[in-house]
Chains A and B, each alone.
Chain A
């Protein structure tokens, strides 16, 4: 009798728990929205700062002197606004989208392959550019672009832009490479010491190479790939895999590998080259003849931001001439604020990074979000959406 009573109690506890779990799981989460942009309110006026701001940023965008004591545009911001900055580096755009979805961060520096997803996912709010005085000085050809605005509504503040480069150890890789072919060459003498970026967006790099070397495939834009073009790109990456030593996402690990020689060749960012050179590594980065993928980043504010006033103050600060110049030089990119060009320590910085040289950017293909509707305008083909890129990349990495 006792045993049966206990048994019943145990079962009812288990049943209740399962029921509760089922009900709870039904309550959480939000419904999807592909039919349009979710309505999110825009901030109307600035109030007092909340005392802190949580930022998701690319490595090197939010420096407070701990990486290099001379590189700091955060401390003065904290002092003048009272907003303490907590920064989380996102390794890839996927990382950043995911972090923003948690609702725990206020601001994100999103590249084009993240920004649209964030907008359509309802994770970011439109930006009231009237509340950002420095917005007026930003280069016009960066404002209201397809990746940072929808239907004439601005969703972010342009940050800066750059190209992905081909890094190589000048003392080990001879002769100096000039083409992306050097990382795809199955007979490469540097097999096992080549690196690639650990994100599905890297498929576009393969597509870019095929665009220039196999014109018969008909690729016009690396983010608009139909099934045949996509499969060809993935095949190229599969052939590349034995050459790869490490796929990098953590920029510091990547720099450490460049320094130790575990990596001697592969895709990188200018900031990594700068850091490695600072560690006395003989390394250089070039934009190969085929051109390169790149990014044009936008600061966006979370739709669930807990510290919106500090967030707006940060966005205004980071595109101010001095701060923007600081980031652009440290990271190695073209600034977005036209006035920054006068403030860079290296007077040639803007020229070197082609801040106003439109010709340079002609063969730089900013990260973008592939969709089923072909981004190159083709009406007769169906392109592979980003979700498939993710699956293909995962298969590639795990095989």
Chain B
């Protein structure tokens, strides 16, 4: 494709500006995790690695990490099952209300988190009398993770078509065997990409979690929120953040490789 030199130059510099916009604040976070001042006076006058060692020892961080991972895994598992079921139903069958499904499934993620969180909280605590805890957090997260898995699975199922499935059944395999040996392997990478994104979303979620986690549970975002301004803990928050940024390269790379047909990876 031919692009004039002027346009190319303009686009490249805009891209550079954009990337700078994205990465300068993140670099500030990483630099501040080495900032000796507890209140991050800028520019840092002294550098230290003491916060990193404190972060590793910090019991609050470790517990919060445990809760986040646990909630994320459970929510992702539920979302995987429900999202895939839904994707199968929508892609393979015709039924009344099929168009409404795509609207319904997108609703938890398109309504502001505060409304979802509020609704779930009042339903749990006032109507059902269930006290908030891990269960309620997982329910909250799974609800908006369903759409991620659903979209990925749906896109793949549509691309896959039904011909392989039909051929397999013509050759005598039962429905279940076909599913196990034909459909699932083809679906696997899309599901994995969806699961990865769902987990990421659940891991970073703060708003709905604030409403659905009770006094006993502190997921990592909640721990960060509570410690953001505490002079002793704020540097540790920076360390945690810096770690998250660095570690996240792995799942990003993985999900990139796997979701070739839904490069609009991101939130969906």
Contacts and interface: CB of A to CB of B under 8 A. Distances in A.
B95 A66 contact: no
B96 A255 contact: no
Contacts of B95: 6
B215 A27 contact: no
Contacts, number: 51
B215 A88 contact: yes
A256 B229 contact: yes
Interface size range on A against B: 20 to 34
Contacts of B125: 102-103
Contact of B96 (A3, A86, A88, A252): A3
B60 to A, nearest CB: 7
A27 B132 CA distance: 19
Contact of B229 (A7, A24, A86, A255): A255
Interface string A63-79: 00011100000000000
Contacts of B216: 54, 86
Contacts of A27: 127
Nearest to A3: B96
B262 to A, nearest CB: 29
Contacts of B230: 66-67, 252
Contacts of B38: 279
Interface string A45-82: 00000000010000000000011100000000000000
B214 interface: yes
A250 B229 contact: yes
Given A66-B233, A104-B214, A250-B229, A279 B39 contact: yes
A275 B216 CA distance: 27
Interface of A: 3, 6-7, 10, 24-25, 27-29, 54, 66-68, 86, 88, 102-105, 250, 252-253, 255-256, 259-260, 275, 278-279
B126 interface: yes
Contacts of A68: 232
A14 to B, nearest CB: 10
A10 B100 CA distance: 11
A90 to B, nearest CB: 12
B131 interface: yes
B229 A67 contact: no
Contacts of A105: 215
Interface string B40-57: 000000000000000000
B127 A25 contact: yes
A3 B97 CA distance: 10
Nearest to A4: B96
Name the residue among B216, B228, B229 with the largest chain A CB count within 10 angstroms: B229
B121 to A, nearest CB: 9
B185 interface: no
A250 B95 CA distance: 52
Nearest to A306: B131
B231 interface: yes
Contact of B39 (A10, A28, A66, A259): A259
Contacts of B232: 66-68
A219 B127 CA distance: 44
Contacts of A88: 215
A29 B125 CA distance: 10
Contact of B215 (A28, A67, A86): A86
Contact of A29 (B60, B126, B228, B231): B126
Interface string B80-98: 0000000000000001110
A255 B39 CA distance: 11
Name the residue among B126, B132, B215 with the largest chain A CB count within 10 angstroms: B215
Contacts of A259: 39
A88 B131 CA distance: 16
Q: What 5 pairs across the A-B complex have the smallest Cβ distances?
A: A252-B229, A6-B96, A28-B126, A54-B215, A24-B127
Interface string B101-140: 0000000000000000000000001110001100000000
B97 A6 contact: yes
Contacts of A25: 127
Contacts of B231: 67, 252, 255, 275, 278-279
A253 B228 CA distance: 9
Contacts of A275: 231
B233 to A, nearest CB: 7
15 contacts: A24-B127, A25-B127, A28-B126, A54-B215, A54-B216, A67-B232, A68-B232, A103-B131, A104-B131, A250-B229, A252-B228, A252-B229, A256-B39, A275-B231, A279-B231
